[in-house]
Structure 1
Amino acid sequence: MPASDYVQGLRDRVGTDFLLLPAVTAVIRDGDRFLLARQRDTQRWSLVGGGIEPGEQPADAVRREVREELGVDATVEGIVGAYGGPPLEAAYPNGDRVGYVTIAYACSLSSDRFALERAELIETSWVELADLDALDRHEWIGQVLQDAARS
Structure 2
Amino acid sequence: MATPDFIKDLRAFAGHRLLLLPGVTAVVLDDDDRVLLMRRVDDGRWALIGGIAEPGEQPAVTAVREVREETGVECVAERVVMVEAQPEPVTYPNGDQCQYTDIVFRCRATGGEARVNDDEALDVGWFPVDALPKLHESQLFRIKQARADEPTWFSTTPSH
Contact 1:129 1:146 survives alignment (8 Å): no
Deviations 1:15-67 (A, max 9, x none): 11111100111111244532221100111111111001111111111111111
Gaps of 5+ in 2: 150-160
Following the alignment from structure 2 to structure 1, what is the Cα–Cα distance between the partners of residues 72 and 130?
28
Structure 2 length normalisation: TM-score? 0.82
1:144 maps to amino acid: R
**Residue matched to 1:70:** 71
CA shift at 1:126, angstroms? 3.0
CA shift at 1:128, angstroms? 4.5
Contact 1:52 1:61 survives alignment (8 Å): yes
Aligned in 2, Cα 1:58/1:95: closer, same or farther, shift over 3 Å? same
2:57 maps to amino acid: E
CA shift at 1:119, angstroms? 0.7
1:47 maps to amino acid: L
- Cα RMSD of the aligned pairs, angstroms, is 2.0
Asked whether 1:139 is paired with 2:137, we answer yes
**Residue matched to 1:26:** 26
Identity of aligned residues (%): 39
Contact 1:83 1:101 survives alignment (8 Å): yes
Following the alignment from structure 2 to structure 1, what is the Cα–Cα distance between the partners of residues 137 and 13?
31
Q: Secondary structure at the match of 2:8?
A: helix
Q: How many residues align?
A: 148
